[in-house]
Chain A
């Protein structure tokens, strides 16, 4: 090792330079002192995954490629939010817009590209966005919170992903496209039509052959006017018409620049000490925008920098996939028609399948697949290898499994794939990447493989391939049953079902069962209540609760007992009651001859042994005294237990009763994966036993210590501390946000302590305690859901009774022991 290391400066922190550094650190660890300038204020993340972030299937944290620790480990200096404005080639230095100057021995320019903004009038209004980085996605997400209408200009890959993502977030979306069919650069007209039909069925409006004339508004977007005079009202315009290589800094430094920064096939610019790669580079007259060739560039540059050259960069056809969950589309190569070209087409209108192969001189030169894309990798390989297909021509279109006498064993097919065969199209992950990581990191579950390689972590269509690879690599050590299915009706686990309900926008139980291929006609007593909860939680405003899929207690709003009678528990806020309430309870007990009255563990009163027919009348009487349902039967908020706090107690530090009542009044009525019990203690003596609750508060002099994930039932477990906050408002916000996070992520019947253990206590702290924006967003979603959930079911039934005969189900259908009355 030399005592003074060479200095490598990288301008840009995207995926291509990130990959280059990985290769470099593998091949020549410690050779360079590396400094990176990143115009964005963050680490290297996976830009390909912006679409799932926009649609809500992923969070930013999920798409980070290199976390802070990675930069530390490799001694990389990362200047965030600094744009390089000047390169001084004679002094060999670069200078940023904040005045930081670094000298280099070798320089890599990876400035990527800029979105092309059509210079129509109004293009600079507030509300005009592009779709390139996380800032754009965050801007779109905050606009969709306000239920904005969006016009996406551009019906190519990026525009359609943006449109589908915005739609998934609830926006009203119109895509306008200049050409007659969608994605015309990747798809032929037939596949473009199928795609259009599918998107329109998802309620995305599409206007083709539409030329944008101007953006309407007064400094702020109000609509879009097309050349033909059509006006589309909207609050947001997303320009996704294309990208331009960003070569500004290279041009200013007098390097050769054409469309992009001109480099040779070793990715060297006209200055031998300066390389360029990524979307800003122009090689052999071409600029690239898809990840596979960019990664290939990274490999070439890294080899060169490491002093171990690995060949030159050569053009190859890159397959394209649309990353919209539920749409399977694959295209590769050249598919224009021509005199010497022939085509093979397969159509299945019913199944929504379209496949077209373009053949020239007995080799495949292009493929367009829609609906069924499993053979995409194989066709792509045929194109790359220029395989002579004359022998298998007749069965070629049916795919790899139909070649040869016997259908190919899928396992053997995966084994036969070369290491560079692409497995995960969404993330550009090849077979070799996956098998190497499985072996090197000892990955044994699908979740691990997804976490470490990102393969199948996006749309999931390649999950089967990844599983086959794991089986091949791990042999007997691989246990595919690691995911516990929800029940016998499906092979999917709770996590997958929740994810797919959201991703596919499934809004009824029959829709879930149809789309996720349930094996039974209408589920079972295990999956139906779970699905009903997931749908209530996901679509609080749209989903119509399916009572027949709720357990009897939640249907009857009382607790069934061993003899078929019910028990009724009215709410006593924070465990407080009054003489008036107690008198009302006493009267109800006498009137209905209720055999047992008992004080519960949650500081309220239970009346047991009530006949089902009597329930409505019991509620009516309790309601007159001001009682609402205590939801003692619900997978929802049960009780908030309190001590008397500063009102009475000589040790009390805060108004624990008041806070408990406030929490209960705010949160009652909400449905949760399993029951939720809370408590507030006024001092660390903890008389309300807050430290064994799902969520607890222990008041201290300086504020409120928030606890979570306790248990005192089947399991006994003390709580974890979330953190201490200063006042009641903050305490409420934290508790509500934590509960909402659990509502969104918990599996049905999984208590908070199990959920928190599964996802990690630190993760809960990170999202709820440390990330104020996230906490606020959870809080807001809870509040929104409460608009529909906070309804007293007892009152609702008592009041609706005269018209709706809501009590019919509480009475027998007929009584044949009193015959005369019948006929």
Chain B
């Protein structure tokens, strides 16, 4: 995982219609839960599902504009940059994501997937 930025491995995780507009779903990965967010403008973003404040599940928050408000203590996280807005300071990791038609693909480091033990 500490390798220099390797080629991205794109993994299909679901359809755009699986995520409500102004909503989110989470994806379980070997590196923790990742939140997939869909905005009112139909942009889709992937960020860690873990608020930098106290670890709240961001996917459970209210999505507005290009941001989500954490359900635990109302931190507002920018979906594009992962940065906390306003007076709060902190940041979550953002992940690359692309749409192949309706299919959402998440960009992951192949080594992460390779290490995955078979279920």
- Residues of chain A at the chain B interface (Cβ within 8 Å): 520-525, 528-529, 547-553, 555-556, 560, 562-564, 808-809, 812-822
A553 to B56, CA, bound (A): 14
Interface string of B17-52 (1 = CB under 8 A from A): 011111101111110010010011100000000000
How many B residues are at the interface, by size bracket? 35 or more
Contact of A817 among B22, B29, B39, B60 (CB under 8 A): B29
Task: Report the minimal beta-carbon distance from B54 to chain A, rounded to whole angstroms.
Answer: 7
Whether A522 and B22, one on each chain, are in contact in the complex, defined by CB atoms closer than 8 angstroms, is: yes
Task: Report the minimal beta-carbon distance from B88 to chain A, rounded to whole angstroms.
Answer: 14
Whether B20 and A548, one on each chain, are in contact in the complex, defined by CB atoms closer than 8 angstroms, is: yes
B57 adjacent to chain A (CB < 8 Å): yes
Main secondary structure of the interface of A (DSSP, over half): loop
Q: Which residues of the other chain, A, contact B11 by a CB distance below 8 angstroms?
A: 816, 822
Interfacial residues of chain B within 80-98, with CB under 8 A of chain A in the complex: none
A536 to B20, CA, bound (A): 20
Task: Report the minimal beta-carbon distance from A258 to chain B, rounded to whole angstroms.
Answer: 65
Q: Which residues of the other chain, A, contact B26 by a CB distance below 8 angstroms?
A: 812-813
A555 to B72, CA, bound (A): 14
Task: Report the minimal beta-carbon distance from A568 to chain B, rounded to whole angstroms.
Answer: 16
Task: Report the minimal beta-carbon distance from B103 to chain A, rounded to whole angstroms.
Answer: 11
Q: Sorted from nearest, which 5 A-B pairs have the closest CB atoms? A: A525-B69, A818-B119, A813-B25, A814-B13, A552-B60
Chain B: CB-nearest residue to A525: B69
A788 to B22, CA, bound (A): 25
Chain A: CB-nearest residue to B69: A525
Chain A: CB-nearest residue to B29: A816
Contact of B113 among A525, A560, A813, A819 (CB under 8 A): A819
Can you list 18 A-B contacts with CB-CB less than 8 angstroms, sorted by A residue number? A522-B39, A522-B64, A524-B62, A525-B62, A525-B74, A525-B76, A548-B20, A548-B22, A553-B71, A560-B71, A563-B55, A812-B26, A813-B27, A814-B27, A816-B11, A817-B116, A818-B119, A822-B12
Chain B: CB-nearest residue to A489: B64
Q: Which residues of the other chain, A, contact B28 by a CB distance below 8 angstroms?
A: 812, 814-817
Q: Which residues of the other chain, B, contact A556 by a CB distance below 8 angstroms?
A: 60
B6 adjacent to chain A (CB < 8 Å): no
B79 adjacent to chain A (CB < 8 Å): no
Task: Report the minimal beta-carbon distance from B40 to chain A, rounded to whole angstroms.
Answer: 4
Task: Report the minimal beta-carbon distance from B15 to chain A, rounded to whole angstroms.
Answer: 9
Task: Report the minimal beta-carbon distance from A41 to chain B, rounded to whole angstroms.
Answer: 52
A552 to B22, CA, bound (A): 13
A14 to B57, CA, bound (A): 63
Whether A529 and B62, one on each chain, are in contact in the complex, defined by CB atoms closer than 8 angstroms, is: yes
Whether A560 and B72, one on each chain, are in contact in the complex, defined by CB atoms closer than 8 angstroms, is: yes
A524 to B65, CA, bound (A): 8
Chain B: CB-nearest residue to A555: B60
A634 to B13, CA, bound (A): 33
Q: Which residues of the other chain, A, contact B55 by a CB distance below 8 angstroms?
A: 563-564
A551 to B28, CA, bound (A): 23
Whether B119 and A562, one on each chain, are in contact in the complex, defined by CB atoms closer than 8 angstroms, is: no
Whether B64 and A528, one on each chain, are in contact in the complex, defined by CB atoms closer than 8 angstroms, is: yes
Q: Which residues of the other chain, A, contact B76 by a CB distance below 8 angstroms?
A: 524-525
Whether A520 and B64, one on each chain, are in contact in the complex, defined by CB atoms closer than 8 angstroms, is: yes
Q: A549-B62, A552-B71 are in contact. Are A812 and B116 (CB under 8 A)?
A: no
Q: Which residues of the other chain, A, contact B29 by a CB distance below 8 angstroms?
A: 816-817
A620 to B57, CA, bound (A): 25
Chain A: CB-nearest residue to B50: A564
A563 to B54, CA, bound (A): 9
Contact of A813 among B36, B60, B62, B64 (CB under 8 A): B36
Whether A812 and B27, one on each chain, are in contact in the complex, defined by CB atoms closer than 8 angstroms, is: yes
Chain B: CB-nearest residue to A529: B62
Contact of B21 among A548, A815, A817 (CB under 8 A): A548
Q: Which residues of the other chain, B, contact A548 by a CB distance below 8 angstroms?
A: 20-23, 62-63
Q: Which residues of the other chain, A, contact B21 by a CB distance below 8 angstroms?
A: 548
Q: A560-B71, A818-B119, A820-B119 are in contact. Are A552 and B61 (CB under 8 A)?
A: yes
Whether B54 and A562, one on each chain, are in contact in the complex, defined by CB atoms closer than 8 angstroms, is: yes
Which has the most chain B C-beta neighbours within 10 Å: A528, A550, A562, A812? A812
Task: Report the minimal beta-carbon distance from B22 to chain A, rounded to whole angstroms.
Answer: 4
Chain A: CB-nearest residue to B23: A548
Task: Report the minimal beta-carbon distance from B85 to chain A, rounded to whole angstroms.
Answer: 10
Q: Which residues of the other chain, A, contact B69 by a CB distance below 8 angstroms?
A: 524-525
Whether B113 and A521, one on each chain, are in contact in the complex, defined by CB atoms closer than 8 angstroms, is: no
A528 to B18, CA, bound (A): 22
A555 to B23, CA, bound (A): 11
Q: Which residues of the other chain, A, contact B63 by a CB distance below 8 angstroms?
A: 548
Q: Which residues of the other chain, B, contact A529 by a CB distance below 8 angstroms?
A: 62
Whether B65 and A817, one on each chain, are in contact in the complex, defined by CB atoms closer than 8 angstroms, is: no
Contact of B30 among A523, A808, A814, A817 (CB under 8 A): A817
A547-B20, A549-B22, A816-B116 known, 13 other contacts, Cβ within 8 Å: A521-B41, A524-B65, A524-B76, A548-B20, A552-B62, A556-B60, A560-B57, A560-B71, A560-B72, A813-B36, A817-B116, A819-B119, A821-B119
Q: Which residues of the other chain, B, contact A816 by a CB distance below 8 angstroms?
A: 11, 13, 27-30, 108, 113, 116
Q: Which residues of the other chain, B, contact A521 by a CB distance below 8 angstroms?
A: 40-41, 65
A548 to B14, CA, bound (A): 20
Q: Which residues of the other chain, B, contact A551 by a CB distance below 8 angstroms?
A: 62, 71
Task: Report the minimal beta-carbon distance from A212 to chain B, rounded to whole angstroms.
Answer: 49
Task: Report the minimal beta-carbon distance from B33 to chain A, rounded to whole angstroms.
Answer: 8
B4 adjacent to chain A (CB < 8 Å): no
Q: Which residues of the other chain, A, contact B101 by a CB distance below 8 angstroms?
A: none
Q: Which residues of the other chain, B, contact A813 by a CB distance below 8 angstroms?
A: 13-14, 18-19, 25-27, 36
A765 to B108, CA, bound (A): 64
A521 to B64, CA, bound (A): 8
Q: Which residues of the other chain, B, contact A550 by a CB distance below 8 angstroms?
A: 62
Whether A809 and B25, one on each chain, are in contact in the complex, defined by CB atoms closer than 8 angstroms, is: yes
